[in-house]
Structure 1
Amino acid sequence: MLSYDEMTPPERELWDAFPEGRPVDFRTGVPGDDGVAEGGQWGSGRTVRAAVIVALMQGANPAQPGDMAGLRLAGARISGCLDLSDAQLGQALRIEECWFEDPPNLHGASTRTIRITDSRLPGLDAGLVRVEGHLDLSRSLVAGCLNLLNASVTGELLLNGTRVCVSEGWAVIADGLGMGGGIFCMHGFTARGGIRLRGANLPGGLFLQGALLERPVPLGRPGPGGVALALDDVAASTLNLSGGFTANGTVRLRGARVSDSLTFEGAVLNGPPDGGGPALAGMLMQAVDFDFTLARHPSGTVDLRGAQVSYLHDNNHSWPDVVELDGFVYGSIKVDEAGERREAVGQQDSVSRRVAWIRRSPGYSPQPYEQLAGWYRKAGHDDDARRILLARQRHRRRTLHPAARVWGHLLDMTVGYGYRPWLAGVWLLALTLLGTLSFGTHTPTPVKRDEGTPFQPLVYTLDLLIPIGGLGQRTAWYWSTGSLQWLAYLLVAFGWVLTTAVIAGVTRTLQKS
């Protein structure tokens, strides 16, 4: 039980000011003396025991009628543990430029607005806290884990300029966090140890413009931590990781649902330092507007398998050498060039560039080609869509056994897998010309002398090339010259091959697509 007589002068000053909500400021105004980093050296004239603050926040010195109690403290060294766990707090807590000896404990507390700004804390446990207002830790140094596991904040979470650093594990753990407002981690925010927000509900969005995130250090086991930002299964209105946002580790968005904008404009995704993981893991994520116009190429792979977005924005720096695109669905693609956003469809070399983009995926999958072709066809570029589907067949051919690859090459040369049926006409014209000119230089021997129609080189050539039916020339004449006889056999074979390729390519392949 605290006794007023046993309190130090700074504690009595705070005690007396609390019922009226008056601020208590122990700062000297001398920059060298007020640096929070040296707060551990502050003497008894600036030291307040955490137990005094706990007693006040729990109603030990209530306000008089007409007054509004509140704790407003600046420039103090707070000794001991500020333990408000499971407390029901009716007053706001405002602490500025203070040095904490032990990590504050707000676990399970229900409170109004909490502001601990420009201060130094060796950690903060706010798991399961219920804040009816804002939670503001702006510009503070948290030299330990910031625990917001399953916390609820009706207002905003302000971490602008905050630095959170740990020697092992995660810097910020906020799985299941429920927010009413946004989370703002801008203006130099740093998390050395990474942020984990799995399953959080963020209707006000997450804003990390210019933030620096490092990968977490593994807990008690060898090997890299890898993940700098874990947003698995997050539901958010906006995820803004732009304006110089830097992640030295994987950004993981597996199963995240973003109802509006997900932007990486001007971001730097370095991936894990050891190269052991992707720069972006966005499997099964959903977003309306996905801006992936990075400042430079990602150092690791980008995994978008099963992701769904309505609008994709990219630039020349967006894609690394390996991109996982199987199951990735999008409504349209816009390219950022010289600061202008243009539809990718219809631009010069757009098809070849997009096919090269798909080829960055390891292995073969038809879905990325079909998705891209569908988008071109929807935009009215049917010829480009056919070029993409032809590229799909050529990619698939590499996965087949040798005999199937030979047949694939034949289909490609003759009818372009059915996407270039005019090639059959070119072959037919070329072979017809070859046969007409070759057979026109000699006269064949009739099968029955003085019977049948006169020999016509053009009709004879067509009769050889067309395997179905007959024009009466092939059965009425034969060659005694060996070279022309072999040419006739060759044209018959080409006729069968060409007909088979046309049937297989035009009917089967086009029907499937």
Structure 2
Amino acid sequence: MTLLVLAKERFDDLTEVEEKLFSEIQKTGVAVFHEKWENIDPSTADLPELRAECVAWLLTDRKAGELITHRGATVKGARLTGKLDASFARFPWQFGLIRCHLLRTIILLDASLGVLSLSGSRITLLIGDRMQISGGLFLDDGFAAHGELRLLGASIGECMQCSGAVFCNEGDHALTGDGMHIAGNLYFDSDFVAIGEVRLLRSSIGGDLICSDGVLINEEGTALNLEGISVVGVVFLRELLVAGRIVADVAKLDKGLELKNNSWRSGGFLSLGGTVVGGLCDTKDGWPAKGNLCVNGFTYEAIHDEATKNVAERLAWLDLQPDDEYRPQPYEQLAAVYARNGFGSQARKVLIAKNDKLLWFYRHRSPLKRRKTYMAEFLKAQGDERIDAAERLLPDRFKAETDRLPKHNWGRHFWHWFLGKCVGYGYRPQRLLYIALGMVAVGWLLFGWGGGQGAMVPALAGAQECPRFQPLVYSLDTFLPLVDLEQKSRWVPDSRVAWSVGSLLGGYQVFHILMGWFLTTMGVAALIDRLKR
């Protein structure tokens, strides 16, 4: 029995085009209905029509499947009318609709196919939840979908090729692939266009995710959602035009993330909160504008050799985050990477910048200053902007915002500022040595001057033996706690006359001793802190 005979038993009114379909599929596995199918636009070309249920029957009928060879079933250059429902099909060979125009939905729920190729075709809606494809999925070469592509929980045994495709479902999901498994690479490149959200929540990719040389548009929402995705290879986000959000929170990118040469429209936002990557390779123009980046919780093992390791440029990158709350983790992560790679000096600069950022919040984001700022914005605003500004002053909303800020008081503010100036927040303890040497030098000059004026006298009047007064040793002896160089115990300023040189030196000596105790204590604390780190 031939496939055509079997089809006539199933369909009473086969057209000439449909008869050709069954004959050619059994002979060669390919049915061509347009001589120039390689160069046509299926949505406008004059294509012969055949019923979609005839194609679906090839995939779902057991007897028909026995008559189809390993070449599979591929249709080129046809217009399919009606719904193509091949749910639960078991077709181990290639199934292709190349340069075809499908007027209604393709349904492949729980279907099992060898290869699925829709290259160059125009479709409206594809529903392929839990579809199993042992080979590759090809939605490339000018493929266009003007509706949702839904592939929830689908499994692709090799690559998923979407190069040069157009996914258009404005304001909604263009591709929904939650929980997909792709064993090979996933390609969104070569002038790929997505209008609507491309969503791959909690999906896994065994190769690379290449998203480059394309357009992602969903201005009022998320353009690319990679939340929770797991990628064995590298995620490439390069040479993209982005209008909307790219969300890749809590993702796991084993080999790395590359961001280069992207163009971000106004409002374009990138979120990498909680994401773990093997390595980071980026350029300055790969990231969005100030206020539109979230890297809180973003961790990476190394910075690629092609990316900048300049501290100033890296700190400028971290400064792209919004100033709505204090986020120390990104600074600590960058410092850890520097330290692991032997760049201790750069690591300390980053940690100092982290504390400088905290000091900035103390200065500019105290609740009082924030309330004054919001009030000024409210008074200047007009229309709907005035309403939005008023809402920011509502007690509950204002409290929720200020609760995210570092707790502010002037004592803590001053102490943090003082530590920054004095010891670089503990990361530049050598400043204590410079201050101490300066104090000793000042003491040397003042006590030496006082000795020359006769204002330094023996501590014990009438003592038979008194060592010679030495200003430098005296300055050291009075400055260093718990040290006796037999100068401060033998010589004292002559303070018997008020406002004399001796009385002024006596006042300075008290300050000199107190500074010695303070700086020594700070030095010991800094040393202990360094040993802990």
TM range (shorter): 0.7 to 0.9
The one of 160, 179, 198 aligned to 1:229: 198
The one of 93, 104, 107 aligned to 2:84: 104
The verdict on how the C-alpha distance between 1:195 and 1:294 changes in structure 2, with shifts beyond 3 A counting, is farther
Give 1:466-477 correspondences, 5 Å limit. Answer: 466-475=480-489, 476-477=491-492
Give 1:200's aligned residue: 180
Give 2:210's aligned residue: 241
How far does residue 91 in structure 1 lie from its aligned partner after superposition? 8.7
Deviations 1:99-133 (A, max 9, x none): 233231122222232111111123311121110x2
The one of 324, 343, 346 aligned to 1:381: 343
Output the amino acid matched with 1:177.
A
What's the secondary structure of 1:244's corresponding residue?
strand
What's the secondary structure of 1:194's corresponding residue?
strand
> Higher helix fraction: Structure 1 or Structure 2?
2
Give 1:208-219 correspondences, 5 Å limit. Answer: 208-216=188-196
* C-alpha contact 2:209 2:233 (8 A) present in aligned 1: no
How far does residue 259 in structure 1 lie from its aligned partner after superposition? 1.2
* C-alpha contact 2:271 2:295 (8 A) present in aligned 1: yes
How far does residue 267 in structure 1 lie from its aligned partner after superposition? 2.6
How far does residue 234 in structure 1 lie from its aligned partner after superposition? 1.6
How far does residue 439 in structure 1 lie from its aligned partner after superposition? 2.3
Give 1:334's aligned residue: 304
Deviations 1:42-83 (A, max 9, x none): 7xxx444455556666669969xxx9547xxxxxxxxxxxxx
What's the secondary structure of 2:145's corresponding residue?
strand
Q: Are residues 1:113 and 2:94 paired?
A: yes
What's the secondary structure of 1:265's corresponding residue?
strand
Give 1:84's aligned residue: none
Output the amino acid matched with 1:134.
V
Give 1:139's aligned residue: 120
Give 1:286's aligned residue: 253
- The percentage of aligned residue pairs carrying the same residue is 22
The one of 290, 301, 309 aligned to 2:269: 301
The CA distance in 2 between the partners of 1:30 and 1:190, in whole Å, is: 22
The CA distance in 2 between the partners of 1:3 and 1:153, in whole Å, is: 27
The verdict on how the C-alpha distance between 1:98 and 1:290 changes in structure 2, with shifts beyond 3 A counting, is same
How far does residue 311 in structure 1 lie from its aligned partner after superposition? 1.8
Give 1:14-413 correspondences, 5 Å limit. Answer: 14=21, 20=27, 27=34, 36-38=42-44, 46-50=48-52, 69=68, 92-111=72-91, 112-121=93-102, 122-131=104-113, 133-143=114-124, 145-160=125-140, 161-166=142-147, 171-192=148-169, 193-216=173-196, 228-249=197-218, 250-271=223-244, 278-297=245-264, 299-320=267-288, 321-322=290-291, 323-334=293-304, 341=306, 344-345=308-309, 350-362=310-322, 363-397=325-359, 398=362, 399=406, 401-413=409-421
Q: Which moved more, 1:484-493 or 1:19-28?
A: 19-28
Q: Under a length normalisation based on structure 1, what TM-score does the superposition of the two structures give?
A: 0.77
How far does residue 196 in structure 1 lie from its aligned partner after superposition? 1.8
Give 2:507's aligned residue: 486
* C-alpha contact 1:99 1:119 (8 A) present in aligned 2: yes
The CA distance in 1 between the partners of 2:213 and 2:30, in whole Å, is: 38
Give 2:430's aligned residue: 422
* C-alpha contact 2:59 2:89 (8 A) present in aligned 1: no
The verdict on how the C-alpha distance between 1:412 and 1:504 changes in structure 2, with shifts beyond 3 A counting, is farther
* C-alpha contact 2:257 2:280 (8 A) present in aligned 1: yes
* C-alpha contact 1:189 1:210 (8 A) present in aligned 2: no
* C-alpha contact 1:210 1:246 (8 A) present in aligned 2: no
What's the secondary structure of 2:257's corresponding residue?
strand
How far does residue 313 in structure 1 lie from its aligned partner after superposition? 0.5
Q: Are residues 1:450 and 2:462 paired?
A: yes
Give 2:391's aligned residue: none
* C-alpha contact 1:18 1:56 (8 A) present in aligned 2: no
What's the secondary structure of 1:310's corresponding residue?
strand
Output the amino acid matched with 2:150.
I
The one of 471, 479, 484 aligned to 1:465: 479
The verdict on how the C-alpha distance between 1:485 and 1:314 changes in structure 2, with shifts beyond 3 A counting, is same
The verdict on how the C-alpha distance between 1:393 and 1:48 changes in structure 2, with shifts beyond 3 A counting, is closer
* C-alpha contact 1:414 1:501 (8 A) present in aligned 2: no
The CA distance in 1 between the partners of 2:145 and 2:204, in whole Å, is: 24
The verdict on how the C-alpha distance between 1:472 and 1:361 changes in structure 2, with shifts beyond 3 A counting, is farther
How far does residue 288 in structure 1 lie from its aligned partner after superposition? 0.7
Q: Which moved more, 1:196-205 or 1:393-402?
A: 393-402
The verdict on how the C-alpha distance between 1:402 and 1:48 changes in structure 2, with shifts beyond 3 A counting, is same
Q: Which moved more, 1:103-112 or 1:462-471?
A: 462-471
The CA distance in 2 between the partners of 1:292 and 1:309, in whole Å, is: 13
The verdict on how the C-alpha distance between 1:18 and 1:386 changes in structure 2, with shifts beyond 3 A counting, is closer
What's the secondary structure of 1:255's corresponding residue?
coil
The CA distance in 2 between the partners of 1:351 and 1:206, in whole Å, is: 34
What's the secondary structure of 2:227's corresponding residue?
coil
* C-alpha contact 1:285 1:306 (8 A) present in aligned 2: no
Matched length? 452
* C-alpha contact 2:32 2:75 (8 A) present in aligned 1: no
* C-alpha contact 1:312 1:334 (8 A) present in aligned 2: yes
The one of 490, 494, 501 aligned to 2:522: 501
* C-alpha contact 1:210 1:242 (8 A) present in aligned 2: no
Q: Which moved more, 1:20-29 or 1:254-263?
A: 20-29
The verdict on how the C-alpha distance between 1:251 and 1:3 changes in structure 2, with shifts beyond 3 A counting, is closer
> What's the RMSD between the two structures over aligned residues?
3.4
The CA distance in 2 between the partners of 1:22 and 1:464, in whole Å, is: 99
Output the amino acid matched with 1:436.
W
How far does residue 178 in structure 1 lie from its aligned partner after superposition? 0.6
Give 1:439's aligned residue: 447
Q: Which moved more, 1:119-128 or 1:372-381?
A: 372-381
* C-alpha contact 1:254 1:281 (8 A) present in aligned 2: yes
The verdict on how the C-alpha distance between 1:310 and 1:178 changes in structure 2, with shifts beyond 3 A counting, is same
* C-alpha contact 2:258 2:280 (8 A) present in aligned 1: yes
The CA distance in 2 between the partners of 1:28 and 1:462, in whole Å, is: 99
Structure 1 unaligned segments of length 5 or more: list them: 71-89, 217-227, 272-277, 336-340
Q: Under a length normalisation based on structure 2, what TM-score does the superposition of the two structures give?
A: 0.75
Deviations 1:116-169 (A, max 9, x none): 1111123311121110x21011111112x2212111001111111211112xxx
The CA distance in 2 between the partners of 1:151 and 1:384, in whole Å, is: 50
The CA distance in 2 between the partners of 1:372 and 1:156, in whole Å, is: 39
